[in-house]
Amino acid sequence: MLMMMQGIEVGRNLSSRLTETSFTKGRYRLHLGNDGDLRLLTLNPETLLESDIYFAYYASNTKNQNPGIQLVFNESGYMYVLQRNNSRFYLKQDVPVSSKDFYHRAVLHFDGVFVQYYHPKGGDGGWRWAWSQPENICAKGFGTDLAANEVGNLACGSNNICILGDNQRPRCECPERFVLSDPSDSYGDCKPDFEMHSCGAKSNQTDVSLYEFVTLEKTNWPSGDYKKYSNYNEERCKASCLNDCFCAAVVFRTICWKKKFPLSYGHRSPTGGSDTFIKVRKLTAGVPNTGRRGRTRDWLIITCSVLLGTSALVNFILLYMKRNKKRMAKKPNQRRYTGAATAHDLNLRVFTYRELVVATGDFVEELGRGAFGIVYKGVLKVSGDSEVSVAVKKLDRVAQESEKEFKNEVKVIGQIHHKNLVKLIGFCDEEQSRMIVYEFLPNGTLASFLFRRPRPSWEDRRRIAVEVARGILYLHEECSEQIIHCDIKPQNILLDEYNNPRISDFGLAKLLMINQTHTLTNIRGTKGYVATEWFRNSPITSKVDVYSYGVVLLEIVCCKKAVDLEDNVILIDWAYDCFRQRRLKDLIKEDLEALDNMDLVERYVKIAIWCIQEEPGKRPNMRKVTQMLEGVAQVNDPPNPSPYNTFTCAESMSN
């Protein structure tokens, strides 16, 4: 990272980190060469040696007669290459804000994008994007002399698709029927979840009955062609690939290009372009789908039941499970954090109170507060001069159970890993001080994202709605122990640098004192996020989270708070009456993107109303909610969620 008044001398580097969470040196360098040229370089990912450079994907071209002698990041926030004759080559001609009122910093991210950010002095607006280089790291070729226009996307591995996100940062996505080779590395290689076809000794013909195509819209793979046809239509292009055992995929856009595995430089463009058709093994072709959890094991059991008979099958299953258990026990733990004290049984770092005092600067910068306590921003040293930002939550309302009980609860939280849940790094349990340390997410809460003007894009809101539901579903049904969150609301949903939602505070409800369990929100007497069970002394089940999610879904659709005291609006009542009166457009006035997607708006509003039914038995579970959101389950018209309370759409709009 570079701060103002820092720079790079000739022959020196600014290095990226290895991953988003590892501060080991990664594969990208910002390097001012001996020839005076400033370049962004990528190294061989296998060796990461400074001498093993793959290519440059940006160059300032400040060499030859007037070479650069220093990269300068001056006090005004401008960055330039100072040349021998004192002329300046500016990496960006304009900086959006003055350094008088804003701090500036520049970061070479682990994905290879070099970004300058600014932050208001004395403000809490977070770091904002100013400019980045390259402008599109997913694009093929950047025109540098070393890359020879054959760079391709840098951030994603083989068979992986690069998609340009916010702030010109990439994200990677495996195609359908492919899974990550390393599940912890979304930027790595993707492998097929089916048996690859191979060519026989006498023929390159494919058994066409075994294969079909999956379609990747607006996706191109500009490298790896081995044949092309200019006079084919789409069907003839696909048929040619289907009958060719060498062919893994075809890209069609007036011309037919045949590709072999592995596919490289995949790029999806929202503005359109070519479509790719990947040849995959049919799921009904009798071959085990090894990419799906458990399918290989099931296939083995079915096969052995035919070959060995029932009694032999039992012996086979016992032997298989015994060997599998031993193999899992031998796997090394690769996710352990380094530090002074580590709880090996929890796979979490155990912090002393003093360590967290130092990390937070004596708990100065407050990020937020809620039912469980106050959250502070901190910075931890990882190795050498490397640092990582964290969020430290002081649990000031936690029951003082035994140390063993506290650690058992933290252990449950620490074992939960899902892309839509905030990751736990460690904890402190020292006398009366109990704290939990999480990863720090830079884009704040969903509340600050939704309740702003102009509204966030409809596509971002739609994606966030689905991903939040998936995170809750994981807590309810897919982790080792069911977890009821009990406090789902936008303030407890955080956004990472790509605006992907991560649910926080899950599992903490069990740490509250018994007499605190009914005070998870300060909207007790008003309809907010709290299900009616809390006020009826009824059993608390996972349906309380379903209720809260329904409220959040309405907030995502309308970009309006659950309880708006200024406008005298209770969102759930207003939304139902607008739905009942077929006036849903009143919920999204001036939201042009949402107005263009009224079918989806209506679907989401109906799902939300089902979720907020006062009778828990009428609410769907989160699996059903997710299926309805994704369009794979029908959504019927819901009944009045609160029959004894009415609030009309017309009344809400007149206030």
Domain containing 431 — which CATH number?
Answer: 3.30.200.20
Both 85 and 60 in a single domain?
yes
Give the tokens for residue 289: 């789908």
Q: What is the mean pLDDT of residues 239-248?
A: 90
What confidence tens digit (pLDDT) does each residue in 558-603 have? Answer: 999 998 766 667 899 899 999 999 999 999 988 999 999 999 999 9
Both 605 and 489 in a single domain?
yes
Both 463 and 546 in a single domain?
yes
- How many structural domains comprise the chain? 5
617 within some domain: yes
Contacts of 565 (CB under 8 A, 6+ apart): none
Query: pLDDT value at position 567?
Result: 65
Both 209 and 88 in a single domain?
no
What confidence tens digit (pLDDT) does each residue in 325-365 have? Answer: 444 443 333 333 333 334 444 468 889 999 999 999 999 89
Both 457 and 575 in a single domain?
yes
Q: What is the mean pLDDT of residues 198-207?
A: 60
CB-based contact 176:165 (threshold 8 Å): no
Give the tokens for residue 305: 């039941």
What confidence tens digit (pLDDT) does each residue in 82-111 have? Answer: 999 999 999 988 877 878 888 889 999 999
DSSP for residue 77: S
What confidence tens digit (pLDDT) does each residue in 457-471 have? Answer: 999 999 999 999 999
122 within some domain: yes
Q: Are strands 161-164 and 266-268 parallel, antiparallel or unpaired?
A: parallel
Amino acid in the structure at residue 140: K
420 within some domain: yes
Range of the domain at 481: 446-654
Count CB atoms within 10 A of the CB of residue 457: 12
Q: How far is CA 412 from CA 60, 467, 483, 487, in A?
A: 51, 22, 9, 18
Q: What share of the chain is helix, strand, coil (3-state, %, to 5)?
A: 25, 25, 45
Label residue 140 by pLDDT band (50, 70, 90): low
335 within some domain: no
The label of the residue with tokens 């309006």 reads: 560
Both 424 and 499 in a single domain?
no
Query: pLDDT value at position 636?
Result: 93
Query: pLDDT value at position 384?
Result: 64
Active-site hit among 193, 460, 487, 577: 487
Annotated binding site for ATP: 394
Both 372 and 459 in a single domain?
no
Q: Exposed/middle/buried for 463, CB within 10 Å: 0-12, 13-18, 19+?
A: middle
Label residue 312 by pLDDT band (50, 70, 90): very low
149 within some domain: no
SS3 (DSSP) at 321: helix
Structural domain ending residue among the three candidates 406, 439, 472: 439
Q: How far is CA 36 from CA 5, 424, 431, 503, in A?
A: 20, 44, 57, 47
Both 518 and 582 in a single domain?
yes
Both 212 and 319 in a single domain?
no
Both 480 and 573 in a single domain?
yes
Q: Please give the Cα distance from 345 to 498 (Å, whole number).
A: 33
93 within some domain: yes
Query: pLDDT value at position 313?
Result: 41
337 within some domain: no
Q: Please give the Cα distance from 359 to 354 (Å, whole number).
A: 9
Is 487 catalytic? The answer is: yes
DSSP character string of 88-141: EEES-S--SS-TTTEEEEEEE-TTS-EEEEEEETT--S--EEEEEESS-TTSS-
Query: pLDDT value at position 616?
Result: 92
Q: What is the 3-state secondary structure (H, E, C) of 259-296?
A: ECCCCCCEEECCCCCCEEEEEEECCCCCCCCCCCCCHH
251 within some domain: yes
> Whole-model pTM above 0.85?
no
Q: Please give the Cα distance from 472 to 487 (Å, whole number).
A: 11
Q: Is the pLDDT of residue 164 over 70?
A: yes
CB-based contact 372:397 (threshold 8 Å): yes
Query: pLDDT value at position 513?
Result: 37
Both 301 and 408 in a single domain?
no
Structural domain ending residue among the three candidates 439, 461, 496: 439
Both 205 and 299 in a single domain?
no
